[in-house]
Structure 1
Amino acid sequence: MRRMLALLLCCLSLPAMALSVTFINPGKHDEVYWLTATRAMEAAASDLGIRLQVLYAEREHPRALALARQIIAQPAAQRPDYVVFSNDYGTAPELLRLFEAAGIHSFMAFSGRDDQPGQPAIGLPRMHFRHWLGSLEPRAEDAGYLTARALIERGRRAGLPRINGKLPLLAIGGDRSTPSSLLRSAGMRRAVTEAGDVVLLQEVYAGWNRQRAQEQGGWLFRRYPQARLLWAGNDLMAFGAMDAWRQRGGQPGKDAFFSGINTSAQALAALRDDSLSVLAGGHFIAGAWSLVMLYDYHHGRDFGDEGLELVRPMFTLFNDRSAAQFMQRYGQLDFSRVDFRHYSKQHNPGLRRYNFDFRQLL
């Protein structure tokens, strides 16, 4: 009896196995946005005692599938408790099939389920794929809408030339298959429709790439010489279009106006020197919030009572003051000053609803 009691006390004294999560990051390891998302996740993991592994797909969607197979090929004891991934380039159906067959819990962050025609139907979380727990997306349409509306207002104030009474607008979107990309563009179009005095001349897709956006911006400006407003789906594509405008002898922020999305140091600096007229961001935090949700789920606080597919506002429109605040607090991509336990239902039993608005971190 004493031996059994001693064994029990020994087992109780052993540290609990840490919750483990692997994030298949769809971006490049040196891409500012996805690096920022990773750093925020690392800070959340540190606060919550999560063992986090990050694998980069380097913007090559077949590589995301290869990384999933690499995870599954590990001995069962070495596999993560959960895998977080983004539905970039429509990879979700195949990733879900792989993780379901292996019995690994999965969670979508950043870009969720895609209901576009031609995409395989995957149903709702915990239905066809029982191990797919849910998803968390920034409300991506907000980013497109907020930036386009502010850009249009900037053009009005500048008294830009019009075509048949309307301000001409050009747009460079991310890609044609990632849900968040399509929603950003939809938000931009909604702002154009609401404005009434704006015409969208053409939208092209640069695959989130600066060089490609520069090439496309060059021929867009040649094709539409009256256009002085350009909306872009991220900061890199905005910079590419600005490069093209400078090559024509123009001055961004003076004789043409550009908008972007993201919180890179370069984008925030460009906003402050007014070469970039409009900037929204903050959505990189979705990965960190996902870890909070999975931590709570793992400890018996299922997020399902708020919904299995959460789409929450996370974008904020930056101005000079908030850009300076962000740079002061997080300019080195150090999010250790945020205590992510404060947002956990497990650590705060009275918390009834998650607050994922980025503005609270400023």
Structure 2
Amino acid sequence: MRAAAPALRACAWFGLALACADAFGQRVAFVNPGKAEEFYWAGVARCMQSAAQDLGQTLEVHYAEREHLRVFQIARGIAALPPAQRPDYVVITNDYGTGPELLNIFEGSGIRVFMAYSKPTAEEMTRTGMPRRKHKLWIGSLEPRAQDAGYLTARALITQARAAGLQAQDGKLHMLVIAGDRSTPSSIARNDGMRQAVREAGDVVIDQEVYGAWSREKASEQATVLFQRHPQARLLWAGNDLMALGAISALEQRGGVPGRSVLFSGINTSAEALRAKESGRLAALAGGHFITGAWSLVMIHDHYNGHDFADEGLMQERRMFALFDGKLAQALRARLGPGCDDVDFRRFSKTHNPSLRSYDFSMERLLKDTPQSNERSADDRALP
């Protein structure tokens, strides 16, 4: 555990950025699109805090509580701060297509902008342009290759369904889809990866696709209707773990057995999702992208210290997702703390490793470079 953690968390959570600035160097704000009590986005922030502490940064986290208009309010508040109180950098996402307007809000503020998790779509890029051109202080973006998550989970789901002989009378495997939302680029990319796996399979029919807004409760309600409407469907692909778990609950309420009567897939590595994968209630699970925010802080730290990432690309899309079998799930639970406390993020920084020529933000590299810790229980060591 890090000895200075209480001091950093005071800076992050109570807005004492100025008081901590001399001790921690770069000041960074994160406009978090999620909820403070939401496992995934709260976990993202915890990993970012760990990275900030390693890298000598202060971090302020502002939660938008899944309200995209609140994202703009937060951004305007940050941009309107007196110059001496503004952060050096702000990390934003393009969830629900908010990125272009956020770039407009921070234009002229003097705050460097880094976009994480989801970059602008091709249509949005016609308005934003590339980083460092129209918006000169938009220094770049880092996005997990979200197609991988959709493709890996759908392919694993199809493979297991074939092995279990779950074809309908027409000889086809019938699949239901509960996607995240229609506008977030990462959601679109996950869906694209899923559809690629379906096309390659040739024997899969998508009976119906709905959008669950990343909500467990909404997905449960939708799945109840879907199972009634499409009794031949034996596969259900979901865009995240919460929606998969909500759909599993809907099946169980009907007397079905997840892993037998219907196979489910999900994305994200919450404790409940990992347990569901290990028990067989989830047939396929992918994750690892939760740490994108922390990797963004590594790139910001290097940029601040004169190690520009431009030679690797201003808009980077990296392989971060892994398909979790039982062995990899156990490794994740055993080797990473709930807030990435066991990771030394300086090991991934070009500032601290002059011989490092390119970033490797893969889950395999992360687990390899993280010492095993036996200090926590398996449940406590689950990640978002």
Match of 1:235 in 2: 241
Q: What secondary structure, in the 3-state scheme, does the structure 2 residue paired with 1:121 have?
A: helix
Aligned letter for 2:354?
P
* Counterpart among 47, 51, 66 of residue 40 in structure 1: 47
* CA 1:198–1:73: 2 relative to 1, 3 Å: same
Match of 2:378 in 1: none
Q: What secondary structure, in the 3-state scheme, does the structure 2 residue paired with 1:305 have?
A: helix
Residues 93, 120 of structure 1: 8 Å contact kept: no
Tell me the distance in 2 between the aligned counterparts of 1:165 and 1:154. Answer: 15
Match of 2:301 in 1: 295
Tell me the distance in 2 between the aligned counterparts of 1:323 and 1:31. Answer: 21
Tell me the distance in 2 between the aligned counterparts of 1:56 and 1:25. Answer: 5
Answer with 74-83 or 333-342: which moved more. Answer: 333-342
Aligned letter for 1:102?
S
CA shift, 1:304, in A, is 0.3
Aligned letter for 2:130?
L
CA shift, 1:120, in A, is 6.4
Q: What secondary structure, in the 3-state scheme, does the structure 1 residue paired with 2:34 have?
A: coil
Match of 1:355 in 2: 360
Q: What secondary structure, in the 3-state scheme, does the structure 2 residue paired with 1:190 have?
A: helix
CA shift, 1:103, in A, is 2.4
Q: How many residues align?
A: 347
Residues 24, 56 of structure 2: 8 Å contact kept: no
Residue 88 (structure 2) pairs with residue 81 (structure 1): yes
Match of 2:211 in 1: 205
Q: What secondary structure, in the 3-state scheme, does the structure 2 residue paired with 1:21 have?
A: strand
* Counterpart among 309, 318, 322 of residue 316 in structure 1: 322
Residues 107, 135 of structure 1: 8 Å contact kept: yes
Aligned letter for 2:332?
F
Match of 1:184 in 2: 190
Alpha-carbon displacement from aligned partner over 1:232-267 (angstroms, at most 9, x marks no partner)? 000000011111111211011121110000010000
CA shift, 1:164, in A, is 2.5
Residues 285, 358 of structure 1: 8 Å contact kept: no
Tell me the distance in 1 between the aligned counterparts of 2:100 and 2:108. Answer: 12
Q: What secondary structure, in the 3-state scheme, does the structure 2 residue paired with 1:348 have?
A: coil
Residues 288, 322 of structure 2: 8 Å contact kept: yes
Q: What secondary structure, in the 3-state scheme, does the structure 1 residue paired with 2:127 have?
A: coil
* Counterpart among 349, 361, 377 of residue 344 in structure 1: 349
CA shift, 1:335, in A, is 1.3
Aligned letter for 1:109?
A
* Counterpart among 279, 295, 307 of residue 313 in structure 2: 307
Match of 1:63 in 2: 70
Tell me the distance in 2 between the aligned counterparts of 1:320 and 1:72. Answer: 46
Aligned letter for 1:50?
Q
Q: CA RMSD in A?
A: 1.5
Using structure 2 for the length normalisation, give the TM-score. 0.88
Match of 1:155 in 2: 161
Structure 1, gaps ≥5 residues long:
1-13
Match of 1:21 in 2: 28
Residues 24, 57 of structure 2: 8 Å contact kept: no
Match of 1:10 in 2: none
* CA 1:243–1:93: 2 relative to 1, 3 Å: same
Q: What secondary structure, in the 3-state scheme, does the structure 2 residue paired with 1:101 have?
A: coil
* Counterpart among 245, 269, 273 of residue 251 in structure 2: 245
Residues 27, 89 of structure 2: 8 Å contact kept: yes
Match of 1:275 in 2: 281
CA shift, 1:359, in A, is 1.7
Aligned letter for 1:351?
L
Tell me the distance in 2 between the aligned counterparts of 1:263 and 1:201. Answer: 27
Structure with greater Cα Rg: 1
Aligned letter for 1:361?
L
Structure 2, gaps ≥5 residues long:
1-20, 368-384
Tell me the distance in 1 between the aligned counterparts of 2:114 and 2:183. Answer: 19
Residue 99 (structure 2) pairs with residue 92 (structure 1): yes
Aligned letter for 2:83?
A
